[in-house]
Structure 1
């Protein structure tokens, strides 16, 4: 997806989106194996690491998975871990050109929890919803025909 030229004359696009997960390996497995993203970077930092994933062949709109305590104080990490476990962040929304195939691939992987099977929404998309292994809500949508 190319960057869009704004009314201000500058180019802007989404670069990275943070996803917090206590178990980075479980999160990577979900986004890679259930949704088909590719690992772009895996950066260790002491006892923590950051893993970047993206749509195959794309360098924009990457997600960066990190643990709640990575780069944060113990108190901040504990608070974030609690919120992630409650599913308080997100949803993280993906687009696809074949929702039924994407849903079946994700469901068959057994790596996330199905929250909603594919259905038409009143806002003009057909989508489904999952929780990743950490509890983050993930929606996958396809524009209605």
Structure 2
């Protein structure tokens, strides 16, 4: 089994598409006005408007802007460089400036426009580097 995708449901899809394109410097593919994907080498971040909920059983299946438990994580080459690049853009949204965590990652934690937590991290210890390498 492989985890292929995580999806965010939003009431303002263009706002989130613009945000994730800006922070990742990657292009997002828009399949319809209500569904888009940001693809990386290891997984996909899908962004769907609330209009897509009709295909999953109705508007009560998911609620935008109410995430209180999930952190969307991106491994980056140098979290300090990304912090410098994004600090003005993320002003008011940064939860934690780059900090070395007990498990060996240096992490920058911030919120996207819908309030979802996003973590940019760089492994900085040998143990952390070993955990994040994929075969």
TM over 0.5: yes
Match of 2:11 in 1: 22
Match of 1:42 among 30, 37, 52: 30
Distance change in 2, residues 1:112/1:27 (3 Å): farther
For structure 2, the residue ranges without an aligned partner over 5 or more in a row are 126-135
State the Cα distance separating 1:75 from its structure 2 match. Answer: 2.9
CA RMSD of aligned residues (A): 2.2
Q: Which residue of 2 aligns with 1:88?
A: 68
1:100 to 62, 73, 80: 80
1:34–1:111 Cα contact (<8 Å) kept: no
CA contact (8 A) 2:53 2:59 kept: no
Off by >4 Å, runs of 4+ in structure 1? none
Gaps of 5+ in 1: 1-11
Q: Distance in 2 between matches of 1:29 and 1:16?
A: 19
Q: Kindly state the Cα deviation for residue 111 of structure 1 after the two structures are TM-superposed.
A: 8.0
Matched, 1:115 2:95: yes
TM-score by length of 1: 0.72
Q: In the TM superposition, what is the alpha-carbon distance from 1:133 to its structure 2 partner? A: 0.5
Between the aligned partners of 2:95 and 2:15, the Cα distance in structure 1 is: 18
Q: CA 1:106 to 1:90, structure 2 compared with 1: closer, same or farther past 3 Å? A: farther
Q: Structure 1 residue 109: deviation in Å?
A: 2.6
What secondary structure is seen at the aligned counterpart in 2 of 1:76?
coil
Paired residues of 2:10 and 2:114 also in contact (CA < 8 A) = yes
* Cα distance change, pair 89–70 in 1 and its aligned pair in 2 (3 A): farther
